Amino acid sequence: MSGDHHNTDESGPAARVKALEAILTEKGMLDPAALDAIVDAYETRVGPRNGARVVAKAWTDPEYRKRLLADATAAVGELGFAGPEGGHLVAVENTDGVHNLVVCTLCSCYPWPVLGLPPVWYKSFAYRSRAVSDPRGVLKDFGTELGAEVEIRVWDSSAEIRYLVIPQRPKGTDAMSEDELAAIVTRDSMVGVEKIAPLARPGAKRARA
């Protein structure tokens, strides 16, 4: 779809960015090294592995789960995760009866400190438009089917609150450690577009990170 494409030919936006960076650097407003540090943080440290650690801890530590549901910003901060788009975090928990789904219809607000930068599908016009009016249809696009008895709560991130979905812990994972659990928590389950499938063989590698 339009808007989801990537201009990788390095002619249009690439040249504009170069010009902008050169001028701002000349004016002393930007330090190229600081820019490199920002990029490096989001490519190597700030990503969905952080959120997965939060979820795994909530699954294994009932007291932490309580703190996370009561004040996610503080509970996430306990694990050392904080930063832009993370000042007002809220955790919402999926259960047998309730399924939560997060969207930003007006732009693409996303909980950066726990999930990193949003994937293209989250920023796509298809997702932004239909998640609020046809959530079950959108979930089907992800291969996620929910029973008619399950209540769906769609959270439109229209203000400064950023949402993290705590997916349901899959069956067959009772013997797994917190670290092992963190490895099976997917990014998309923490946005609410997929469930984590029951583990047939504990320790088996998942196709998707």
What Rg, from alpha-carbon coordinates, does the chain have? 19
Distance separating alpha carbons of residues 119 and 125, to the nearest angstrom: 13
Are 24 and 30 spatial neighbours (Cβ–Cβ below 8 Å)?
Answer: yes
Nearer to another protein, 59 or 155 (CB): 155
Q: Least separation, in Å, of the C-beta of 106 and another protein?
A: 6
Member of 79, 93, 108, 168 binding another protein (CB under 8 A): 108
Are 88 and 73 spatial neighbours (Cβ–Cβ below 8 Å)?
Answer: yes
Verify binding: residue 33, another protein, rule CB under 8 A. no
Q: Least separation, in Å, of the C-beta of 192 and another protein?
A: 12
3-state secondary structure string across 9-57? CCCHHHHHHHHHHHHHHHCCCCCHHHHHHHHHHHHHHCCHHHHHHHHHH
Backbone φ and ψ of 166, nearest 5°:
-95, 105
| Active-site annotation holds for 107 | yes
Nearer to another protein, 64 or 121 (CB): 121
| Active-site annotation holds for 158 | no
Q: Least separation, in Å, of the C-beta of 56 and another protein?
A: 22
User: By 3-state DSSP, what share of the chain in percent is helix, strand and coil, each rounded to 5?
Assistant: 45, 10, 45
DSSP state letter for 75: H
Member of 49, 69, 123, 144 binding another protein (CB under 8 A): 123
Piece in contact with another protein (CB under 8 A), picked from 28-36, 57-65, 168-176, 177-185: 28-36
Verify binding: residue 82, another protein, rule CB under 8 A. no
| Active-site annotation holds for 177 | no
Chain positions 127 to 166 lying near another protein, rule: CB under 8 A, are 127-133, 135-136, 138, 141-142, 148-161
Q: Which residues are annotated as catalytic?
A: 104, 107-109
